[in-house]
Chains A and B, each alone.
Chain A
Amino acid sequence: MSGKVAVCAVAQIKNEPDIWYQRFQGMLLDCFESIISQTGVTFDMETGIRNIITCSDDVFDARTISDNGMTDAVGAHFRGEEKIAQDGINGLGYAMACILSGHDDVVLLMGHCKESQSESRNMCTNLSFDPFFCRPLGMDFTNASAFQARAYMNKSGVTDDHLAKIVARSRQMGAKNPFARKNNPISEQDVLNSPMLADPIRQLHQYPVTDWAVGMLICCEARAHEFTDTPVFLTGFGNCMDSYFLGDRELTSNFALKKAAQRAFRMAGISDPKKDFDIAELNDAIAYQLPMWAEGLGLADEGQGGKWVDSGALDAQHVNLSGGMLNGNPVMLGGLARATEAILQLQGKAGDRQVEGAKKAVAHGTTGPAGQHHSVLILENQGV
């Protein structure tokens, strides 16, 4: 591989429960115009953006080929556009390939999701199951996670109290983040009292329905100075697919996450995940996932998720200072939102939640029922 890949700018709108007043094109356009004004980048065929990576989903947009209808709003009219139909964090992995291959110098990445548009997100995720065996059972991402949650909580000593603590903390963190979804403040007792969705998952254990859009400008190292004084380098990426049937998987093993992390860590030269990262952003769509993914990434010891939460590691290791997905990011963008926060921290632009001197971050994303597909991205602000 030659050179490095730099993120030069990010632009996002505020996470909101229902952006009824704007279409997704408008949400993207706000981000797009911010990127242009931050960087002065052009769409010149020689020196500008020739390729745009978009991240969205046909089912949640209720549109076949969800990347049409916005190609001009993201600058792709008479330019290239390629849609990543997974959690948008994989778009950053693909952007690395576009630049390291030499095919592109400058890439724009744009992601959106209006989760509020669907009648029921569980009806959407039910469609990800095969129509023969699992779909008729009423499987969706929530109840699939319930199997994993119960098994994991048994294995790692995670209790309902731990989950309440995680959710209450997420709301406190989210309140400090101007881009985070505005939620009612809640106590641990509120979480413990919230209705059961799919045992042991309570309503407040799951992220709330959210609309959001984000854009990023990514370029090769040699040209980063044209667009920013605070480049953030993408130095490692890996993702991994687990098997499909829940019964075929060891649900508490973190099989896919461990493999994804291994590859990303190898690429970035990470040897001790507990010490190497100043920032960790984990895709916690449901509260039990925060300690579980932390074990998978090596931030917590195997089987010690409960103790890890008790030990105060969430604050000590700067985990999900953004509020995490639990505070509200839309499906398909949970991982990209984690990367967005990591970039702001490494740029020194994280406001009240800034970690002074942060140099290295890990951002994590997951797609599918009970974490079938995981992605791990390593970011640094001083290069390798």
Chain B
Amino acid sequence: MKYKKKNRNVGIVGIGETKFSSHREDVNQPEMIHEAVRQALDDAGLKIDDIDCVLHGNMELFEMIHQPDLWHVLGTGAYGKDSFRLTTGGTTGGTLVCAADNLVASGMYDVVMAIGFEKLQEGHTTGGITNMADPLWARKLQTGALTAQAAVKLIDEFGAERARRAAMTYRIIMDKHACKNPNSHRAFGLDWDQMDDLIKNSPPLIGDLRLIHMCSQSDGACVIIFASEEKAKQITQTPVWIRDHITVHREETLDLHNNFYPNRTTHRFAAEQLYKRNGIINPLEYFDVFEMYDPSAWWGVDWLREFFLLKDDEHLKLVENREIMIDGKMPINPSGGVIAANPIGATAMVRTAEAAKQIRGNAGPHQIPRPVNHALASSFGGTMWTVLTILEKDLNWQGGDHE
């Protein structure tokens, strides 16, 4: 395959995340962003003058601000700088990471700061998401991001009892991780003895999707600073390198019968393409951590099979054997994941930020208790869209079919 080597390497040199919560009434939008910007600059030991270009992303209709980067310049520090605004729904934070990587690797900018944010308290998230559907064909049917499709699929394939227990096991593990992460919006302290009760009694939302399975709507901002290899090595002892990224979207407006396109999920398609061009044969062996954009426990379980290219019930076994716990064979979301906090425009960037912190070894109480060299971060949005990013501790990767 014809993939060129990057023009130059790009490293993550600074990370900032606000505390995530349901209400940040103490700050307005630029002030909240400013918290994360300040943290990222301090983390990198940089001043705002060191930043060449600022990227900004969130969804306009969630807070009803048109072109919010214009007002937010009060908190972003973009004054007098180059700036881009990119938005792709839930994948926005992931798209910003890809864009920052491209902009730095291109040589156009040496140091780029990417900002993902959302203050969902100030709008109506489910109404906002419903508004993405086609006004003629689908809007009356859309129920925000709520769907029990994955539950139906898992129950059909593995039976109700096993599927429901797997989803709740996943949910409890994520909550245990969230309890370790001081930034979590929701950390309940769930325990294994609540399993049967939650499966039966958590309020149902749609079909087998229950309240406990679903992500929250949160306020929060995430900032990552990216630098060229030369600059990154000057700025920090522990840069985290962006090895590669891929974006895969889908939309069936014209393809109502699904006859023309691969019968695969975007997650699996993205994973296949990305691993192939990077020569990663066994992703489950290769990666030390995976930060997944998992909007519900059902999706989390189902998507494990797609991202790791697993067969049959291998993904279920990972969950059932609790291999996805922070000290397990393949730690998934030591941060608690998206079910613990979902400020949508920031969420996908938090996945990369958390994966990078794990590689640096300073994630805090939710640091994985063994060395982390290779990390994977995913984003999810739109009509089943995927962004997948590989992060590395060292600049020593080999293999793959880059020219």
Contacts of A97 in B (CB 8 A): 99, 102-103, 105-106, 108
A58 to B251, CA, bound (A): 18
Could you tell me if A84 and B85 are in contact, using CB atoms closer than 8 angstroms?
Answer: yes
A131 to B, closest residue via Cβ: B65
**Does A273 reach chain B (CB closer than 8 Å)?**
no
A125 to B60, CA, bound (A): 12
A148 to B82, CA, bound (A): 22
Shortest C-beta distance, B33 to chain A (Å), equals: 13
Q: Which of B78, B129, B262 has most A Cβ within 10 Å?
A: B78
Given A1-B7, A73-B254, CB of A51 within 8 Å of CB of B82: no
Partner among A83, A85, A101, A125 whose Cβ is within 8 Å of the Cβ of B106: A101
Shortest C-beta distance, B242 to chain A (Å), equals: 10
Contacts of A125 in B (CB 8 A): 66
Contacts of A84 in B (CB 8 A): 84-86
**Does B286 reach chain A (CB closer than 8 Å)?**
no
Could you tell me if B69 and A124 are in contact, using CB atoms closer than 8 angstroms?
Answer: no
Contacts of B253 in A (CB 8 A): 25, 69-70, 72-73
**Does A100 reach chain B (CB closer than 8 Å)?**
yes
Could you tell me if B80 and A69 are in contact, using CB atoms closer than 8 angstroms?
Answer: no
Could you tell me if A242 and B254 are in contact, using CB atoms closer than 8 angstroms?
Answer: no
Given A57-B66, A86-B67, A124-B66, CB of A76 within 8 Å of CB of B249: yes
Shortest C-beta distance, A97 to chain B (Å), equals: 4
Mask for A22-36, Cβ within 8 A of B = 1, else 0? 000100000000000
Given A83-B88, A84-B86, A132-B28, CB of A102 within 8 Å of CB of B81: no
Contacts of A259 in B (CB 8 A): 80
B5 to A, closest residue via Cβ: A102
Could you tell me if A103 and B71 are in contact, using CB atoms closer than 8 angstroms?
Answer: no
Interface size class for chain A? 35 or more
Contacts of A368 in B (CB 8 A): 67, 70
Mask for B242-268, Cβ within 8 A of A = 1, else 0? 000111111111110000011000100
Could you tell me if B247 and A51 are in contact, using CB atoms closer than 8 angstroms?
Answer: yes
Mask for B53-86, Cβ within 8 A of A = 1, else 0? 0100101111011111111011000111111111
Could you tell me if A72 and B254 are in contact, using CB atoms closer than 8 angstroms?
Answer: yes
Contacts of B371 in A (CB 8 A): none
Contacts of A79 in B (CB 8 A): 248-249
**Does B295 reach chain A (CB closer than 8 Å)?**
no
Q: Which of A78, A256, A368 has most B Cβ within 10 Å?
A: A78
| 244-258 of chain A: CB within 8 A of chain B | 244, 255-256
Could you tell me if A94 and B89 are in contact, using CB atoms closer than 8 angstroms?
Answer: no
Given A82-B86, A94-B84, A241-B54, CB of A372 within 8 Å of CB of B70: yes
Given A124-B66, A241-B83, CB of A47 within 8 Å of CB of B132: no
Could you tell me if A80 and B87 are in contact, using CB atoms closer than 8 angstroms?
Answer: no
**Does A239 reach chain B (CB closer than 8 Å)?**
yes
Could you tell me if B70 and A128 are in contact, using CB atoms closer than 8 angstroms?
Answer: yes
**Does A211 reach chain B (CB closer than 8 Å)?**
no
What total of chain B residues lie within 8 Å of the partner, measured CB to CB?
Answer: 72
Contacts of A51 in B (CB 8 A): 247
**Does A175 reach chain B (CB closer than 8 Å)?**
no
**Does B311 reach chain A (CB closer than 8 Å)?**
no
Segment from A7-15, A60-68, A149-157, A180-188 that makes contact with B: A60-68
| 328-374 of chain A: CB within 8 A of chain B | 367-369, 372-373
**Does A303 reach chain B (CB closer than 8 Å)?**
no
**Does B1 reach chain A (CB closer than 8 Å)?**
yes
Could you tell me if B249 and A77 are in contact, using CB atoms closer than 8 angstroms?
Answer: yes
Partner among B2, B61, B255, B273 whose Cβ is within 8 Å of the Cβ of A64: B61
Could you tell me if A128 and B66 are in contact, using CB atoms closer than 8 angstroms?
Answer: yes
A242 to B248, CA, bound (A): 34
Could you tell me if B102 and A367 are in contact, using CB atoms closer than 8 angstroms?
Answer: no
A131 to B2, CA, bound (A): 49
Shortest C-beta distance, A262 to chain B (Å), equals: 11
Could you tell me if A81 and B247 are in contact, using CB atoms closer than 8 angstroms?
Answer: yes
**Does B383 reach chain A (CB closer than 8 Å)?**
yes
Shortest C-beta distance, B215 to chain A (Å), equals: 17
A237 to B, closest residue via Cβ: B108
Contacts of B275 in A (CB 8 A): none
Given A242-B79, A244-B71, A244-B74, CB of A101 within 8 Å of CB of B102: yes
A-B contact list, 30 entries, CB within 8 Å: A2-B7, A57-B66, A64-B59, A64-B89, A64-B128, A64-B131, A65-B382, A68-B251, A72-B252, A72-B253, A76-B249, A76-B251, A77-B255, A78-B269, A80-B247, A80-B249, A98-B106, A101-B101, A101-B105, A102-B7, A102-B105, A103-B4, A103-B6, A103-B105, A127-B66, A132-B28, A241-B73, A241-B78, A241-B80, A368-B70
The 3 A-B residue pairs with the shortest CB-CB distance in the complex, in nearest-first order: A80-B247, A101-B105, A100-B106
